[in-house]
Each structure stands twice: as C-alpha cells, then as structure tokens.
Structure 1
Amino acid sequence: MSGPAESTTAPLTTDERAELERLRSEVDALRARKPRGPVPWRGIGAGLLGVLGCLLVLVSLVTVWVHNQVANTDRFVATMSPLIREQSVRTAITDRLTDTVFTHVDVEALATRAVDALAQQGVPDQAVAPLRALTGPLESSVRGFVHDRIGDVVASPGAAELWDRVIRAGHARMHAVLSGEASNVVVSGGEVRLDLAPLVTEVKRQLVASGFTVAGRIPDVHPTIAVTEASTLERAQTTYTLLDRLATWLPWITVLVLAAAVYLARDRRRALVQTGIGIAVAMLVLAGALLVIRGVLVGSVPERSVAAAGDSYDTVVRFLRGGLRTLFAVGVVFALGAFLTGPSPIAVKLRQGLSGLIGWLRRGGARAGLRTGRVGPWVHTYRAALRGAAVGIAVLVFVLLNRPSGLTVLVIALVLVFCLGVIQFLDQPAAKQG
C-alpha cells in the first residue's frame, strides 16, 4: 500500500531542496557543537544590555534633537519659522502688539483734551457734551481699526522675514538662558518669551502710513510674547549642557551596547527580534511622554493662550516626533527582518511561498525563452556576497539620507526585499543551464 502512495508524491523543487539542505546543515552544525555548561551570566548580561540599549536609543534621540534644534540657531529658526503661519499665533501676536500700541497712545485722553480745548475756545456746552460722550466709543473704534491693521501686517508675507529675525534673536538669548549665561533675559515668570521689537517698528510705520499719525509717538519698546512654558528649562541648565555634549557620541555608544547585547545572547536571531521590538516600544513611550507634556503645558497657560501654546509646542517638537517615527519604523523592520529569516514555522512557510512564487516566475520565463546565460551560475556562486551587499547598501542609504522619515524606511525595506528576490530569481546552478 505504501508503494503507490509514495509514487504519487511530487518531487521536491530546486528551491525546496535547497531549503531542506540548508535546514539539514543547520541541524548538523548544532549537533557538532561541543556541549557547554550553563553560563547564566551571558543571558542576564545580554538582557540587561538590551534594555539599556533601548533606553539609550530614546535618550540619544532626545539629545540629538536638543543639539540640533536648540543649540543650532539655523535649525531653531527652521523649526520656529512656520509658527507665524498658525492663526492662533498670529492672533496672540496681534493682541500683544495692539496692547503695546495703546499702552503708549491713550486715544481717550487725547480726545478728551481736544474736547476741553474746544470748550476753552468758547464752543457751547450743548455741542461739547455730545463730543465728551463720544470719547469712549471713539477709543473703542480706533482700537478696532489698529487691531485690524496690525493683523494685516502680521499676516502679510513681509512679516515672515521679520518673524525670522525675531526668533533668531530670541534663540541667541534662549541659548544663553540654557547655558546659564543670561538667566533673566528670555525666561520670565516661567515662560520663554520672544522680543517683538522688529514687529513694533513695522507696525508703527504701517499705522502712520494709514493716517494714524499718533502711532509715531510710540517709543522704542521691546514687548515680548510667550512661546512656551519654560519652568523645566530653568531647572535643566546643567542637564542641557550634559546632553549637548553627549549628542555627538551617545548614539555610537548606543549602537555598541545593542551590538554587545546581541553578541552575548545565546540565540542571536531572537535577540535581534527583541532588539527591534524594544526600539519600537521605546519610541511609543517617548510619543506618549510628548503627549503628556503637551497636556500639562496647555493646561498651565491662560485660556486665551491655549491654542497658541499648543500650536507652538507642536511646531517645536515636530522634528523630534519625526525622528521617533523613523526609529519606530526601523525597529519594526529590524524585528520583522530577523523573524522572517528565522526557523519558526511561520517564517519557513513564508519563505517557501516566496520561493515557490519565484520558481514559478523563473519557469514562466524559461518557457518564454528567457535565459540567464552566465549570469545565473555567477549569481549562484556569489549569492551570499550579493545578499550581504544588498543589505549593506540599504543600510548605507539610510545612514546617508538627511532626516529620513518612517515612510522612507519602509520604502528602503521594500526595495531591499525586491533586490533579494531578484538575486534569488537569477540564482541558478551551472548544471541547470541549457
């Protein structure tokens, strides 16, 4: 009964036989290893180093962000420049500048003095009394006119250049605060504030040009606007200096710690999977921390400043969020790559399915007259080196890109998978060549 059943079994394909030989080789290698005594410290050390490495990934990302976004003026300007396009921020700046104008220009007092002058010139009381009643509404109307005109100035294209000058000067002072050189200049009342003097000058010019000539009486003042809550910055000057110094070499220490964790692990493939998952989890923790900080920040400002504070915070940390998304994608791709190349039943079935698909494509190409010629045997001979080169190029592309995104990581991973599939498609032993 067994003979006929065996005769109907389909023969193994070339790819299936190659997979079987690979598994047999792994089994033989495992059996050939000399038995070793238990070395518990290796597993404990690998685990501790893995956890430490994943935490260092989080810390490294924050330190690099601090260095690039806070210590570098050009990067800081690039970060803060989009704020002027947020309507909530424009409204806050317009309100602050309007208050500055009417701090130095008392429209109601000016109108009252004008009415008094008319009365002194002999104008009848029945004409003067209605004018006195109009001084309050006049002040309100003028304030509305000035507020609208300032809003137009703040929303104009030219305001962006002025805004960049404001934040460039503000960054220099904030850096002085963080480094401990000028603790009273930018931080006031627990807030980081920007000097709006350049915008005041432009507003004065525009108001005078619009006919509101009394605006020319406004002296050279330096009103400020709160950008974000800064109590944590006031308490973190020492930490800032340390993180700024660590930004250069801490990422490399992190890579070495993770590499040591994988090297010490008894099952290095599983350690690679766990490392990738750990990096992804660390990024999720950082994302949650940023949300909590945002909630605390928004809840600590006055009601009218909530929108501006939220938009300012989102703008400031957007590069940090972009970095954590990138590292999250790296961790996921890393873990999936290590898992899918492992011996688990799911991974083996997926590889067999892919091998079957590539074999079907290869046979279809052969029926259509496509031949690899000398390329097939050459690829078969150097297939390990070609695969390693493909992985190395993918890593190099990722490293050389300027601020790659999470989507970029996924695209690189998909291109790498395609290249590996092409290598396997071209991989044909010499004996199979026609």
Structure 2
Amino acid sequence: MTQLGSPTVQPAPAAALTADERSELLRLRREMAELQTQPRPRTKRRWRSLVAVVLIVLGCVLAPVAGVAVWVNNQVSDTDRFVRTMSPLVDDPDVQAALTNRLTTTVFQYVDVQGIADDAVDALGAQGLPPQVVTRLETLTPTLASAVTGFVRDRIAQLVASDRFERVWDQAITTAHRQLDAVLSGDSQGVVVRGDAVFLDLAPFIDLAKERLSQAGLTAVDLVPEVHPSVEIAKADTLVRAQSAYTALDNVARVLPWVVLLLFAVGVYLARNRFRALVGTGLGLALSMVVLAAAILVARGLLVGEVPAAAAPATASGFDIVVTYLRLGLRTLLVLGLVLALAGFLAGRSDTAVHFRRSVARRLHETRGGPAADGPVATWVRAHVRGLRIGAVAVAVLVFVFLTQPSGIAVLVIATGLLVVLAVIEFLGRPATAPPVPADAVP
C-alpha cells in the first residue's frame, strides 16, 4: 500500500518512433511470426547448408585454376595479347644486355677482327715497311681488335635500345607466336619445331645490325653472310601432347570460369543465411587470390634459382613481365571478393549492419525536403524502388563483365558508382514528410 503524502512517480513519456523505425519493427515482427508459424525441417536445412558450404569452397578452390587457365590460353592463342605481354621485354635493361651479347657474339663469329688486323700488318710489311715498325704494329693488333669489339658492342647496344629495334622485335615475336599457334592448333604449313622447341629467328636483327655498322664505317660486317641464329622461346616436349594440351586448355578456359560462377551462385542461393554466405564467398575468393599470388612468387624463385647467376636478372625481369596480366587479374578478383564480402556484411542481419542501415536511412530522412520535394520523378521512383535497385545492380555487373581489361581500381569505381546510384534511389524513394509516430501507436 502506498503511504499517504508520498510523491507519486510518473513514468517517463515513451520516445516517439520515426516512420523508418516503426517500419523496421513491423518487419521484424512479421519475420518472427513467419518463423513461428512455418517451421522448416531441420534435416533439410542442415543438408542445404552443407551443400552450400561445399559448393562455395569448391568454387574458391577452382577460382585460381580458372584464372591461370584463362591467362595461359590468352598467351597461347591470342597473338595480340602475347605481343602486348612480350613487347616490354625489349625495354628491360637486363634483357637488352642479353640481346646485345648474343648479337655481338654472332657478328664476331663471322668477322675475325684479330685476323684482319694481322693480315693488314703483314701487307704493310710486304710493302717494305721497316721490321721494327712491323713488330710494333703487331703488338698493337690485340688492342685494335679489342677497340673494334667494344665499338661494335656499343653500336649494337644503341641499336637494341632504339625504337626501330623495338618495332623489329614486335614483328619477330608476332611471327614466332603465329608459328607456335599454327603448330599447336594443327594448322602448321611447313613450320618446323626443331628438337621439340620453337625458336625466335634473329636474322632480322643481324641484318639491322649490319646495316647500322656499315653506315658507321665498319664495312667488314659485309663479310657476314645471310645467317639465321636463333634463341629458344618456347618448349614443346612432345608435339602431339602439346596439341592435345592446347585443345584441352582452350576448352577449360572457356568453361571453367562459368562453372566457378555457377558454384558461387548456387551455394549462396542454397544457404540458410544468404548474406552470410555472400560474405564467406567474397572472403574465400579473396583468400584464393592471395594463395595464387604466393604461388607465383614461389614459381619465380624456383625459376630464377634454376638458371646461371649471370642470366638470373634477365630471367627475373622476363618472368615479371610475362605474368603481368595474371597478376592484374588476381588483383581484380581480390578486390571483387572484398567488395562482395563488404556488401554481404552491410546487407546482413548483424547488429552492426542493422545500425548502419538505420543511420543511413535516418540521414536520408533528415536530408529529404518538405512536401515541395515530392515531384513526379520522386513519385515514380517511389513506385519502382525495387526494380530500380535490381536494375542498378544488373548494370554494374554487366559493366564489369564487358570490361576489356578489368582491374581492382575498376571494381572500386563500379562499386562506388553503384552505391551512389542506390543512395539516390533511396533518397528519391522516401516520402518527403514522415512525422514521428508515438511508441504506443505501434500495434
């Protein structure tokens, strides 16, 4: 019993709910009612969850395989892509040094500078030159030969670093790749793979070097006949096996990426909590790309360790250039995975995600103007909010799919643009006025 004269404690007035908060409360009540009235068999849900996990994990395992298959297939079957990959090799200092040494060695295989100098001294002696002068000249011939060798090497080095050599390089590797593709595809017309290997013909470079040296006054290079030195650029252990592998690779590169995408889509669809499954898919994809990047580094170390120390710098530079597009692709998928994981988290049912969405909705409501802000555009958007959301996501996906060379930056730009479009849709799709609703008015 309450004592007389004691003050009566009045309950604090209930805080008013905004329209957004009331809508969220009603939605949660409806979901609770559905869960209570329509229970699902636990066995079925467990099997669906297990199948979803297996499909998503399998997709994450196959994603790096699909990426490597597509990259290798592009390098083998796409001449333009191969040339874009290999063309920067000639700009690398280590590769330029290796080419300079190879071309210089080829020139002096046919031009005996020491022999020419000795013959010249003998000819002078035969013309009556004093013996002591002839002897002095004979001691100078090694120095003369060394100077000529250095002169030729410097000229060839300048040539290798020139734009003209780069154009010849592109032409040579284009021809070599077309020959390799013809051999592997079975369309070779008189193309020979010597010793189960494909060679790059250096004859165009020799001719260009002879032309430059002759213009510089070293006419002795005219003694170099038409020769075809070569360097090995690709291996094919067995031609038949290589052709079979080429066909299989082409099929795998065409099919496997779609298989991976299907595994992810079905796995997310079957999951009990699809937003959580989307987070797992994104993180799994990102992790698989990290593993692929580590595998590339290991392969690089093994390759460089197998070659002589003198060739190691050129080999390392060449490897880095060759895998440029592969690294670009894995970085793109890494960023895509992180974006998917973030999207799944923010759209999920966790307390953090719900609080974030409520905060955004509250800011949009506060930013929205008065009744005058409700024009025909806002009215139309409000009537088609769901379709506009789906359309925005579909357009973003199509833009990514049809990019010629997608990158991580492109993924971030597309994701940012999608967020802006969705924010505009939400902004226009909300009523201009939404007076607070008292808490006791909620049924």
Q: Under a length normalisation based on structure 2, what TM-score does the superposition of the two structures give?
A: 0.88
Query: Is the Cα–Cα contact under 8 Å of residues 176 and 183 in structure 1 kept in the other structure?
Result: no
Q: Aligned ranges for residues 112-123 of structure 1 at < 5 Å?
A: 112-123=118-129
For residue 128 of structure 1, report the CA deviation from its aligned partner: 0.9
Please list the CA deviations of residues 242-269 of structure 1 after superposition, one character each: whole Å capped at 9, or x if unmatched.
1122212222222222222223322222
Farther-moved stretch of structure 1 (289-298 vs 216-225):
216-225
- Structure 1 residues 257, 330: closer, same or farther in 2, change over 3 A? same
For residue 80 of structure 1, report the CA deviation from its aligned partner: 1.0
Structure of larger gyration radius:
2
Please list the CA deviations of residues 142-179 of structure 1 after superposition, one character each: whole Å capped at 9, or x if unmatched.
01100111111111111121011111122134446756
Structure-2 separation of matches of 1:235 and 1:305: 31
- For residue 134 of structure 1, give the secondary structure of its aligned residue in structure 2: helix
Q: Aligned ranges for residues 155-194 of structure 1 at < 5 Å?
A: 155-175=161-181, 184-185=193-194, 194=200
* Alignment correspondent of 2:32: 27
Farther-moved stretch of structure 1 (234-243 vs 217-226):
234-243
1:53 aligns to 2:59 (yes or no): yes
Query: Is the Cα–Cα contact under 8 Å of residues 377 and 428 in structure 1 kept in the other structure?
Result: no
1:376 aligns to 2:378 (yes or no): yes
- Counterpart residue identity of residue 398, structure 1: F
Q: Under a length normalisation based on structure 1, what TM-score does the superposition of the two structures give?
A: 0.89
For residue 399 of structure 1, report the CA deviation from its aligned partner: 1.3
How many residues were matched structurally? 423
- Counterpart residue identity of residue 197, structure 1: A
- For residue 266 of structure 1, give the secondary structure of its aligned residue in structure 2: coil
- Structure 1 residues 272, 36: closer, same or farther in 2, change over 3 A? same
Structure-2 separation of matches of 1:406 and 1:325: 6
- Structure 1 residues 301, 178: closer, same or farther in 2, change over 3 A? farther
- Structure 1 residues 418, 183: closer, same or farther in 2, change over 3 A? same
Structure-2 separation of matches of 1:342 and 1:231: 51
- Structure 1 residues 29, 164: closer, same or farther in 2, change over 3 A? same
For residue 235 of structure 1, report the CA deviation from its aligned partner: 12
Structure-2 separation of matches of 1:26 and 1:20: 10
Query: Is the Cα–Cα contact under 8 Å of residues 93 and 225 in structure 1 kept in the other structure?
Result: no
Structure-2 separation of matches of 1:232 and 1:318: 25
* Alignment correspondent of 1:11: 16
- Structure 1 residues 84, 145: closer, same or farther in 2, change over 3 A? same
- For residue 22 of structure 1, give the secondary structure of its aligned residue in structure 2: helix
- Counterpart residue identity of residue 430, structure 2: Q
- Structure 1 residues 134, 29: closer, same or farther in 2, change over 3 A? farther
- Counterpart residue identity of residue 346, structure 2: L
Query: Is the Cα–Cα contact under 8 Å of residues 365 and 430 in structure 2 kept in the other structure?
Result: no
For residue 374 of structure 1, report the CA deviation from its aligned partner: 3.3
Structure-2 separation of matches of 1:241 and 1:22: 54
* Alignment correspondent of 1:247: 253
* Alignment correspondent of 1:395: 397
Structure-2 separation of matches of 1:411 and 1:358: 23
Q: Aligned ranges for residues 158-307 of structure 1 at < 5 Å?
A: 158-175=164-181, 184-185=193-194, 194-225=200-231, 237=242, 238-307=244-313
1:309 aligns to 2:315 (yes or no): yes
- RMSD, aligned CA: 2.7
